Amino acid sequence: MNYSSYEIMVVSAARLLKNDDVCFVGIGAPSAACNLAKLTNAPDITLIYESGTIGTAPDVLPLSIGDGELCSTALTTVSGVEMFNYWLQGGRITVGFLGAAQLDRFGNINTTVIGNYEKPKVRLPGGGGAPEIASHSKQVYIIMKQSPRSFVNKIDFFTSYGFGNGFNERSDKGIQTKGPQLLVTDMAIWKPDPTTKEFEVVALNPGVTREAMQESVGWPIRYSETLDENIPPTKLELEVLRDLQERTRIAHSKTGNSGQ
């Protein structure tokens, strides 16, 4: 079955989620991956959106972080204060998902500004929940497409901290969680080197060359000694994902689908 690079990215992330994960889910690819996992390999996974919805099970993908569907299918919905204090800072989140405008090799993330903070070239939305998602989730998964604009040698602003300059810098700052443990892109799967904490490629998607990889990333890429080829989406995975997206399209067509 043919599949897009977006589809293999979402499927690859979904496969790594487990029934006992409690995920702090962002809109877009993380939301697609988490809901796909819930429909396939992790039916008992707990999904939390930062709008306060705990244990939600939307039938279609939400367009915003606070869609009514998230609340009406949730176990319960709590205040913003409780969400960030009891559930995130409280250490209850096993996987926090983050995306980025800019990402560096140590999993540091910028979603604040391109250029200088005081006089930016592009003012981005900012961190929202991300600074504390990055420090309080037991582990952080990053899902994003590779491009030289976003996979940069040096990020313009530290919105969310990953491993800083690598090695033990994160734990030396007193941060007790594991930090970025997985980076899933449209081309590959990356994991941090246990010592240096630099992301290295552990699996390339079928058909992706090292040349194409390097063209999309602004630092010299390291590959794992045990580099694998990623497993293509199965027929079932693709069908479930496409059904989910089609349901989503139909549900939102009435009020305008803002897409991915």
Partner 1 sequence: MAKFQSLSTAINENLFSGSFVVFEGFTHLIPYAAAHETIRSGITDLTLARMTPDVIYDQMIGMGMVSKLVFSYAGNPGVGLLRRLRDAVENDWPRPLAIEEHSHAAMANSYEAGASNLPLAILRGYQGAGLKGINANIKSIECPFTGETLAAVPALRPDVAVIHAQKADSKGNVLVEGIIGVQKQAALSAKKAIVTVEEIVPELNTHPNACIIPSWAITSISVVPGGAHPSYAQGYYERDNSSYLEWDKISSDRNAFRDWMQKNVLEQGPEVFNERVEHLRD
Smallest distance from partner 1 to CB 1, Å: 29
For 6-73, give the secondary structure using H, E and C: HHHHHHHHHHCCCCCCEEEECCCHHHHHHHHHHHCCCCCCEEEECCCEECCCCCCCCCCCCCHHHHHC
Interatomic CA distance for residues 33 and 11, integer angstroms:
6
50 carries an active-site annotation: yes
258 token code pair: 């803002």
Smallest distance from partner 1 to CB 189, Å: 25
Whichever of 165 and 214 has its CB closer to partner 1, that residue is 165
Pairing of strands 113-115, 53-54: unpaired
Whichever of 105 and 202 has its CB closer to partner 1, that residue is 105
Whichever of 52 and 232 has its CB closer to partner 1, that residue is 52
- Could you say which of 7, 50, 198, 200 is catalytic? 50
Smallest distance from partner 1 to CB 146, Å: 20
Smallest distance from partner 1 to CB 141, Å: 18
Whichever of 121 and 226 has its CB closer to partner 1, that residue is 121
Non-local (6+) Cβ contacts of 1 within 8 A are: 233, 235, 238
In DSSP terms, 48 is beta-bridged to 24, 54
The residues that are catalytic are: 50
